[in-house]
């Protein structure tokens, strides 16, 4: 069992809590960072691991001092990132870009050589989208075009900081810009410091169960992260997910953990890892849910039942297997585990007299 200490940022999030879980299961010691107001709650999530897990409060990613958090650390997994619409466009870009560079610079300065960073498949998409579509038809055309291209590690979104800040772009464009520009900044730093080992993972939407540390005491659907799309599948009037591209959140966490022990870039080249599960249609999903969980048959989404087919996965997983030795789990496992996790939350809410909002 390894006794290495790993720093994980953003441990209270949907993905961050899974990263902590995977590290602890693998025998690592974990030090997490979270906003000061969330530190106590974050510690309680994995209290059974005793002194193998601790959380430090850091409220400013851009200027925050990570020196205490980095003491004795052998690797960093950077997950913390601003959510779309929570701050201005300029603040979102600065938090994503300068926040990532701040921790990377401080880690390199104290001799830490392993850095794993979660980017997004939107940073790979070569189409310019998210500019504020004029109608649903225009958006549908954009989604259809996205599925045509086979995305590879050589592709980049063409978004620019100037366009993101021109005042005409929607939250999706801002999100694409922050993910793209932050990842580019990380790779620029890596090229100037070839002695460090950087791995970025570029996943699409996360689905799957919540980690053992997850809580949602206020029954807020918005707090379900991207699992809110799975929740729509078990609501009679639920909306259909806007895009078929997904990955199991546990697979993303495993990829970030595996990156710490991945071969050096001198052997395998730039470790930019695209990942996606096989695509499935909303119709296939709700039919499967009704089949294996018949008690939910009368509550699956009518919109999903009446939806059409989707394309074939256009994200190349080759590097995921070659560099990290991973293959995404089947979509049916992901969806069923996500649904079971959501139903468990519902029962908890009901026991407290809460209704999802």
Please, what's the b/e burial string for 166-204 (b: 16 or more CB within 10 A of its CB; e: otherwise)? Answer: eeebeebbbbbbbbbbbbebbeebbeeeeebbbbbbbbb
Reported as type and span, the H/E element at residue 47 is none
Distance CA 14, CA 210 (A): 7
Query: Tens digits of per-residue pLDDT, 242-281?
Result: 778 899 999 999 999 999 999 999 999 999 999 999 999 9
Residues 6+ apart with CB under 8 A from 145: 127
CA 352 to chain centre: 30
CATH homologous superfamily of domain 5-127+149-204+246-277+315-326?
NAD(P)-binding Rossmann-like Domain (3.40.50.720)
- The least confident of 81-85, 110-114, 186-190, 229-233 is 81-85
Instruction: Quickly list DSSP for 277-304.
Output: PPP--HHHHHHHHHHH-GGGGGGS-HHH
User: Is the pLDDT reported for residue 136 higher than 50?
Assistant: no
> Is the pLDDT score of 216 beyond 90?
no
The 10s digit of each residue's pLDDT in 172-205 is 889 999 999 999 999 999 999 999 999 999 999 9
Q: DSSP state, 326?
A: -
- How far, rounded to the nearest angstrom, does the alpha carbon of residue 251 sit from its chain's CA centroid? 10
Question: 25 pLDDT exceeds 90?
Answer: yes
- Kindly list the domain boundaries of the chain, sorted by start residue: 5-127+149-204+246-277+315-326, 212-242+279-312+329-357
Helix residue ranges per DSSP H, the chain: 14-25, 39-45, 67-70, 89-109, 136-146, 161-164, 171-192, 227-233, 249-259, 265-268, 282-292, 302-305, 318-324, 331-351
């Amino acid at each position: 069992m390894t006794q290495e200490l790993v720093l994980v940022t953003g441990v209270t999030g949907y993905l961050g809590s899974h990263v902590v879980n995977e590290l602890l299961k693998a025998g690592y010691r974990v030090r997490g960072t979270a906003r000061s107001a969330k530190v106590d709650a974050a510690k309680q999530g994995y209290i059974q691991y005793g002194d193998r897990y601790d959380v430090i409060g850091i409220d400013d990613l851009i200027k925050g001092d990570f020196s205490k958090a980095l003491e004795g650390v052998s690797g960093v997994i950077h997950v913390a990132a601003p959510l779309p619409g929570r701050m201005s466009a300029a603040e979102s870009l600065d938090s994503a870009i300068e926040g990532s560079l701040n921790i990377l610079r401080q880690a390199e300065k104290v001799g830490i050589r392993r850095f794993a960073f979660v980017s997004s498949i939107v940073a790979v998409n070569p189409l310019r989208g998210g500019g504020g579509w004029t109608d649903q038809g225009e958006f549908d055309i954009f989604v259809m075009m996205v599925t045509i291209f086979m995305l590879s590690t050589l592709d980049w979104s063409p978004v620019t900081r100037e366009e993101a800040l021109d005042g005409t772009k929607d939250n999706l464009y801002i999100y694409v810009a922050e993910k793209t520009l932050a990842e580019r900044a990380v790779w620029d730093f890596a090229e100037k410091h070839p002695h460090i080992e950087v791995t970025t993972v570029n996943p699409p939407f996360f689905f799957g169960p919540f980690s053992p540390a997850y809580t949602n005491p206020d029954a807020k659907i918005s707090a379900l992260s991207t699992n809110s799309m799975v929740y729509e599948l078990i609501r009679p009037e639920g909306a259909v997910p806007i895009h078929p591209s997904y990955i199991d959140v546990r697979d993303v966490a495993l990829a970030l953990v595996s990156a710490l022990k991945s071969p050096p870039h001198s052997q395998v080249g730039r470790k930019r890892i695209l990942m996606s599960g096989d695509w499935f249609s909303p119709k296939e999903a709700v039919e499967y849910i009704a089949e294996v969980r018949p008690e939910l048959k009368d509550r699956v989404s009518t919109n999903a039942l009446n939806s059409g087919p989707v394309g074939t996965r256009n994200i190349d997983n080759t590097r995921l297997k070659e560099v990290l030795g991973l293959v995404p789990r089947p979509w049916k496992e992901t969806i069923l585990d996500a649904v079971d996790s959501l139903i468990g939350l519902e029962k908890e809410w009901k026991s407290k007299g809460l209704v999802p909002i």
